[in-house]
Structure 1
């Protein structure tokens, strides 16, 4: 097909005048429900401008900025500040995620009704779990009343403790404190029951274990309002990568075993897991060069997400561009309440929003060339099977290879 765009509007979609075998793949603009942009307070790691540029380079037209900044995005004032300082036209759109609890302290809920009236659709204390069941229950009640979503960082403190690495072989090999799978699955089970009771929409962040997949599949089989995301790195890396105790592989939740990776891939293909989310977590080189126990959790992911997911699906003989569009655009847009125009392929007469992907163009990851301010990618040297050619946001080219 030929796609014609004039002055930012899609004016024609028609059979190609000169069809070839090497055309690009056209996808709706990608949507990331889980991005850490660090500003305000962490500008040495990332800014709204550098993070927005990295997002566009990865094919993302929309990203949801997590609330764990300094100060925390826990008020209407902080949401308005973020919107006022976000990049303008021609850059990836940034949607503020508001905290569930004031200051991420887990003690008192934010003014969710006022924040929802200010346009917030997603609430999360990501980086910290809302441990108190009574607070989580009330948050889900309020989410139901306001039509918003609670995104939970599933990490039960009583079980995870000071966990640093996947429990089992990896913990034994490194001597680092273990992080059991049950710490994730247990909190998902609790919150799924609360979602069923309240009617509030629960979204599970960065699912990492087969046990968690089983719980989510059970909740969905009962028709409960539960959705889930998986990161690209949890689809392709295992805890064997962490054996060297190189902090570039330190992430929250930790990299898991090969059986977990297989389960996550199957769950993505069969729809148990709804969406890909990057959990893009930039850190300075100095902080990631500390000993493992002192280094921060997190990996960058915006600029490698598409290629990593394509590679994982190819390894499962399951690459389907319709599936990829669903999990990286359509479903995230629906979960994030972006409206009916988001997550869809361009329509004639609409403002152009899309990404073009060169399908058979292997590229080797070089973090030094990434647009993100931080370079803590675990994929340096990995060959990815495709690359983003162009990202168009709101009728303007936001990235071009």
Structure 2
């Protein structure tokens, strides 16, 4: 029998809340973290809004020696990992070092650190470039730094599949636990709000150019015009259910099912919104695979956490996939990321954490500021939380290049 993999700890860093408690309270109240960029002067760029994490001072949480070695995203990830381990009641030094792993996702690596070192190279010369540049920019650095800080030496790695990567990393962590690793630190944090990172994001052509925070990022809306990026994400502690039970720790829920597909246009390598008719939508297939992996029917799902691209062509594909599986307005759908912006690889782990909190509280968090396009025929949870018995949730994520991922999570004690 395949062992169950459960989540026992959450560490959240979001534009609308630091820590799980603050984030959840902000999300239920509809508090948005989207605003004009303050990290640099955005006035010369066509897009000027982002979801920044306010008040995060790494020096409050980390040793001073780590600050010059790390990018902002890594500092946030280290703190979120600390919070997740504490939430799970785990002291890594008390566990066998090879029985723990770290598997995270990244969409861009340490852009802000890299920009600073490039500026030194160009303006002062190579001798002024930090030796830490050799790894601080790298996609795998969060996994590496979390493992070093906590003495973790088991199966570890990084997944790079843009916004879908957060789910893919958790799925890989689940796979390693099923192979015998007792505990894996997983999830993702991204943070690329610097001029160099901003130009790279603008090159994708899907950023909103609105300067109105409440109308800039509008998935499934009549006036959808692109998305607003953000920083942050969530780190989760995954454990074998038997090991978690032996520790007597609180269990948020189970990672029950996972499916992934990719659907680029073969000749161009571009996302599915440019594909012609007659092709099976990859997102729908990913949902079907995830439900089958969890051994459940569509009617067993209590809520869908949508990817919510905010781009009309992509919104249409997602709405059609959800409707094809669940029927017209057949399941509540929500996109709390309308309060944070799209956090790249950090977005889906944050949705997973939100799903577990929703199960615990019996409430579905809202999608804010959206006036839904009627042709999508979705049961969107709008503006206010909705009381519900949430036992099973489906989280969707898509990444640039055609990546599609879907994950089913269940409350403790749920059965198919």
Q: Taking structure 2 as the reference length, what is the TM-score of the superposition?
A: 0.31
Q: Taking structure 1 as the reference length, what is the TM-score of the superposition?
A: 0.31
